[in-house]
Amino acid sequence: MKTLHLVFITLFFIFFGGCASTQVILLEGSKESSAVVVKTQAGEQVINVPRGQTKISSAKETPSAPKVLTQEDVQKQFGALIAKAPKPPVSFLLYFKSGGTVLTEESEKLFTLIEQSIKERTPCDVNIIGHADRAGSTHYNITLSLNRAKSVHTWFSKQSLDIRAITVESYGEEDPIIPTKDGVSEPKNRRVEILIR
């Protein structure tokens, strides 16, 4: 499973207490080196460590120097909110054999996981985006990538999955994972991206 096109770098809270003091807390995201910048008229504060917290008392004051909260503090104050947050979207890449709409054997196996991811995210929307490599003309690749996306869509329509809306798109050879010269066959670019959100 690859999540190349969806990356969650930042996670934070904002909280307004009774005495008009705002706080911002950076949470652990799935990627390292995420940061938030909290700005007022007076200045700014960067938080770049997990569970780092800054307090802001007014627009005319610089946010407080970051303080790192303990896991327990965060859970106690915001555990319910964290638990209720919707599951982030997930994306899958299905690869194809050259020149057609036949999936590679490895990609065939992903459908069980795709089905499960959809069930965990109901109600959800799904985007199916077809891509081609640069072997063949631009025009040919637009049709080919659309046909790839449509073949995946056919699979979806045969399942009894509770999906609110499915969008089928094709980017032709315009959005490669690995940029190549024209005419080059590149297995990583012959793909359909499925975005479940």
Residue 69 CB, nearest approach to another protein (Å)? 15
CB of 50 to another protein, least distance (A): 13
Residue position matching structure tokens 């080919």: 144
Q: Output the smallest distance, CB 93 to another protein, in A.
A: 14
Residues forming beta bridges with residue 25, ordered by sequence position: 13, 53
In whole angstroms, give the CA distance from residue 11 to residue 41. 24
Question: In the complex with another protein, which residue's Cβ is closer, 99 or 146?
Answer: 146
Count the alpha carbons within 13 Å of 173 in the hemisphere toward its beta carbon. Answer: 19
DSSP 3-state assignment of 178?
Answer: coil
Cβ nearer to another protein, comparing 48 with 98: 48
Q: What is 74-124 written as a DSSP string?
A: HHHHHHHHHHHSPPPPEEEEEEB-TTSSPBPHHHHTTHHHHHHHHHHT-SE
| 4 or 113: CB nearest another protein | 4
Q: Which residues bind another protein (CB under 8 A)?
A: 4-16, 22, 24, 27, 29, 31-41, 46, 48, 56-59, 63, 78, 80-82, 84-86, 88-89, 121, 123-125, 164, 171, 174-175, 195, 197
Q: Which is nearer to another protein, 121 or 190 (CB)?
A: 121
Least distance from another protein to the Cβ atom of residue 170, Å = 11
